[in-house]
A and B are shown apart, each in its own frame.
Chain A
Amino acid sequence: MSETKIETTVHGMMAEFTTVDSLLSACRRIRDAGYTKTDAYTPFPVHGIDKALGIKPTALPWICLIAGATGTCIALVMQIWMNSIDYKYIISGKPYISLPAFIPVAFELTILLASFGAFFGMWALNGLPKFSNPMFTDPRFDRATDDRFFLYVDASDERYDPSGVRNLLADTGSDYINEVVEDDSPKEVPKPVFLIWGLAVAASLVPLICILTMRVTNSSKPRFHVFFDMDFSPSKDAQQVTSLFADNRAMRSDVPGTVARGQMEESLDMLTGIDVEALTMSDPPRVQRLVRAYMLADDEAKAEEKEAVEAAEAAPASVMDTTPWVEKNPLTVDAELLAQGRQQFEIYCSVCHGMDGYGNGLVARRAQSINAPTWVPPASMHQETLYADKYPDGKLFSTISNGIRKMPGYAGQIKLKDRWAIVAYVRALQKSQNASMDLVPESEKAAVEAAVADVKAELKRQAEEAEKAAAARKQTQS
């Protein structure tokens, strides 16, 4: 031993062995000699050494048990709180607290926490990580993780006395015995390491601080989008162009053979205005054609039907007369339906037939004023031939849907129910022209009279205005 080494603290004495057996017997001798602060260092766990050294069993299993039980509790409380109390989910009509469904997560968290208990508990009990260990000062100790076995007696042991221990160890057959001294390498962590560490910590805080400040402050700038999610929907308006489809149309028609939601709630009667049951008796092939045309969206059948109807129209006894029409509007007629019918009529029909249905709509008047030669005047709704007894609701519906002679069909523009609403409105319009005040229920009378008065006043006002305007014009002319 050199003089400098005497000054350094001595931690204990170690001896090297080459076989397990020699180590074990040495351990036993040291234990029997009464030493308790001992340890052995081996490259692999040596069987029986805990007995040979008198090492007590560890409390690790208890740590695991507690950690595992904590895991179970956390999992159960978490699941029950989250799914049964704070945010109730109804799943398959099961009770909110349905334990069987909570088992998998409870099991996994039990295992996870118990494993953490075993893993971290073991390192904690072992006092690791610990990077500085006086044993490492001896270069021969490097072989403790390779093929050598070391026995160590700590200097703090009551019986420790350097020469006695040395002799005892020499006796056990060890060929290398050495004192374990304090590591004399500098203890302080070098400054650059600190600097780099500090910088890294500071840098890692920057994003966190940025996020936190953004959370608590307001900004007038628009949100910064990393991912657009669905914040900007690329939806198209009607009639717009798109590159997604070969025909560049953004509006798509139904896929052939499919039925959109809300369609097909209707019976064939409602779709055609024909009493199909009666038609089955008189003309079964036509029923088949109607089914194909209306229920199966078979365009061919539709065309056939149209052709047949048009051909028959030309004949004196038209199909229109032999067809068993639906007599009554299949929708319940009420104020709402009439309002809807009125709205639709004024949009679609009034341009030709006029607001009042007398056939003097804007188009008709214009055609008359220019004497259009091919123009057929639109029929007045107030002919007796168009009254419900002669012209059933179903037939009127068919006229609106498929057109008649010069009048085009409106099935493409007007929805099914709206067409029936128009039928109801036309009926009301017809009735209104020769109805007496007696038909109006007592409760509504006042309202109707007031409305009539309003209209009359308005008409008067308009007439006066027109007169004034005419007079003014005359004056300026003269």
Chain B
Amino acid sequence: MSLAIPNGLDNTVERPGERAPLVLGETTYHDITEAVCKVAERPPSKGWIGGFLVAFALLQMLGLLIVYLIYTGVGVWGNRAPIFWGWPIVNFVFWVGIGHAGTLISAILFLFRQEWRTSINRAAEAMTIFAVACAGTFPGIHVGRAWLAFWLAPYPSLNLWMWPQFRSPLLWDVFAVSTYGTVSLLFWYMGMVPDLATFRDRSKNKYRRMAYGILCLGWSGSSRHWMRYEKAYAILAALAAPLVLSVHTIVSFDFAVSQVPGWHTTIFPPYFVAGAIFSGFAMVLTLMVPARKMLNLEKLITIRHLENMCKIILATGSIVGLAYGTEFFIAWYGQVPAEQFAFLNRAFGPYAWAYWTMVSCNVISPQIFWFKKARTTPWIIVVVSIFVNIGMWFERFVIVISSLSRDYLPSAWAYFTPTWVDWGMLIGSFGLFFTLFLLFCRTLPVINMAEVKATLAKQEHMAHLHGHGEEAAEGH
């Protein structure tokens, strides 16, 4: 049951007429189970404990800051006239954007039969859900009276005697983000059920077995179940694919449907979606490159996987760069003075430093991925992906802050200065993200074992067809 990979460990080489292997080494089904389950079964490493303590401390800080905010009022933020959206919305758009890679990998790459997604989709989906959790926090507290945030829901209220306004993009946003969060959660959980059954069946401890048994809903691996399961998975993927595209489109409507110069442009939906995929993949790489090393998953998350993601980063980064250029062109071509001013102001006004940070991180730094050497060297990948994360945060900063700080009424112009609470909440949101991610690593299957095994089975089948039949037959 083992498979010899003819070209050793380098699966990034393209061989005409052959599919590059996605699982490396003399790997059996059981090896995959072992590799993935061990991550959660062995006692936590010092690195994990340290990381968790830091992340958890930051999460506590976020919690305390939210209490402080609700107790004191939104004045603790740097949000001042005319920049009422301020950092919370920058952070919201940043996190929602990051939350796009997971479902994209699981849904769109699934529909395109990109099998390399199998090793990374689980962690990427988890990351999506955690990022959406971070994202949801910010508008929730940004509404001012956070304890009344439920007014966003269309329920027959005895206090208001009125309904939400369905022609506002802000309300569309509530529906889009909550639908996205829910569907991503279902998709993630459903994908995890067979692997949770593996966890259950490997548990020696009675309570652990019971907990995973309940979580996996009594999954048995019946072929009849698998058949419906695969159907449901395909349907969910087909539903989630347009959903992913719609979410950031609708987030971009928050801006584009307004009349603020620099926001009121039709390019926003595609531009935001490309940016979201870009930032999402960057975050996946930032996490996966160190994680595959620390969790000993290099045979499953191979250099080829990383390389593919780098290519996506290169493509989406260039799309984002093109969008920056197009915005300028349209501002000039449209001949609307306020628009022209808005864009010149972005690039050369008081926020020029943010604008050029964004351009260098988002457009220039990924260009290094034209070189294969860079695409296959983990440390370069991590550095660039971190640059992209920074750049994408600044993109949202530039859009939200620079446009609001100088719109039509010059007497109302102001320069935005974040307070320590703004900083604390941004850092704290990373605490929330990493706490959830680290807990995920320790308690849930980080790699979709069932799918990787299926990929391995297919790889074996291919090997048959391509004349490795004898070797494979010996293995049987």
Interface residue ranges, A against B (CB under 8 Å): 18-21, 39-47, 49-50, 53, 55, 57-58, 60-61, 64, 68, 78-79, 82-83, 86-87, 89, 91-92, 94, 98, 101-102, 104-105, 107-109, 111-112, 114-116, 118-119, 121-123, 125-126, 128-133, 135-136, 142-147, 150, 226-227, 229
CA distance A468 to B76 in the complex (A): 74
Known contacts A82-B166, A83-B167, A89-B167; 19 additional CB pairs below 8 A are A39-B223, A40-B222, A43-B198, A44-B226, A45-B454, A83-B165, A87-B161, A104-B246, A111-B179, A111-B183, A115-B186, A115-B187, A119-B186, A126-B229, A145-B198, A146-B33, A147-B1, A147-B29, A226-B147
State which size class the interface on B falls in: 35 or more
Contact of A105 among B171, B218, B225, B242 (CB under 8 A): B171
Interface residue ranges, B against A (CB under 8 Å): 1, 28-30, 33, 145, 147, 154, 161-169, 171-172, 175-176, 179, 182-183, 186-187, 190, 194, 197-198, 200-202, 213-214, 217-232, 235-236, 239-240, 242-243, 246, 250, 253, 449-451, 453-454, 457-458, 476
| Smallest beta-carbon distance B12→chain A, Å | 26
Interface of B, secondary structure class, is helix
Known interface pairs A43-B453, A126-B224, A128-B219; A112-B179 also in contact (CB < 8 Å):
yes
- What 6 A-B pairs are tightest by C-beta distance, nearest first? A122-B232, A147-B29, A82-B163, A129-B217, A104-B172, A142-B201
Residues of A within 8 A of B182 (CB): 112, 115
Contact of B235 among A47, A61, A91, A92 (CB under 8 A): A61
CA distance A340 to B181 in the complex (A): 65
Residues of B within 8 A of A111 (CB): 179, 183, 239-240, 242-243, 246
| Smallest beta-carbon distance B125→chain A, Å | 14
Residues of B within 8 A of A50 (CB): 223, 227
27 residue pairs bridging A and B, Cβ less than 8 Å apart: A19-B476, A39-B222, A39-B223, A41-B222, A44-B450, A45-B229, A47-B457, A49-B223, A68-B239, A78-B154, A82-B163, A86-B163, A91-B168, A102-B167, A104-B172, A105-B171, A108-B176, A108-B179, A114-B239, A119-B236, A123-B217, A125-B228, A129-B218, A130-B217, A132-B218, A147-B1, A147-B453
Residues of A within 8 A of B167 (CB): 83, 89, 91-92, 94, 98, 101-102
**Shortest Cβ distance from A18 into B: residue:** B1
Residues of B within 8 A of A123 (CB): 217
CA distance A475 to B98 in the complex (A): 103
Residues of A within 8 A of B194 (CB): 43-44, 145
Interface of A, secondary structure class, is helix
Residues of B within 8 A of A94 (CB): 167
CA distance A171 to B35 in the complex (A): 34
| Smallest beta-carbon distance B188→chain A, Å | 11
In the complex, how many residue pairs between chain A and chain B have their CB atoms under 8 Å apart? 203
Residues of A within 8 A of B219 (CB): 128, 145
| Smallest beta-carbon distance B150→chain A, Å | 13
**Shortest Cβ distance from A147 into B: residue:** B29
Known interface pairs A82-B154, A145-B198, A146-B33; A60-B165 also in contact (CB < 8 Å):
no
Residues of B within 8 A of A147 (CB): 1, 28-30, 33, 453
**Shortest Cβ distance from A104 into B: residue:** B172
| Smallest beta-carbon distance A190→chain B, Å | 12
| Smallest beta-carbon distance A26→chain B, Å | 12
Contact of A107 among B186, B217, B246 (CB under 8 A): B246
Known interface pairs A82-B154, A227-B145; A39-B224 also in contact (CB < 8 Å):
yes
| Smallest beta-carbon distance B379→chain A, Å | 34
CA distance A68 to B183 in the complex (A): 13
Cβ–Cβ contact B33 & A118, under 8 A? no
| Smallest beta-carbon distance A187→chain B, Å | 15
Known interface pairs A111-B243, A118-B235, A145-B201; A82-B220 also in contact (CB < 8 Å):
no
**Shortest Cβ distance from A115 into B: residue:** B183
| Smallest beta-carbon distance B217→chain A, Å | 4
CA distance A86 to B156 in the complex (A): 11
Cβ–Cβ contact A227 & B147, under 8 A? yes
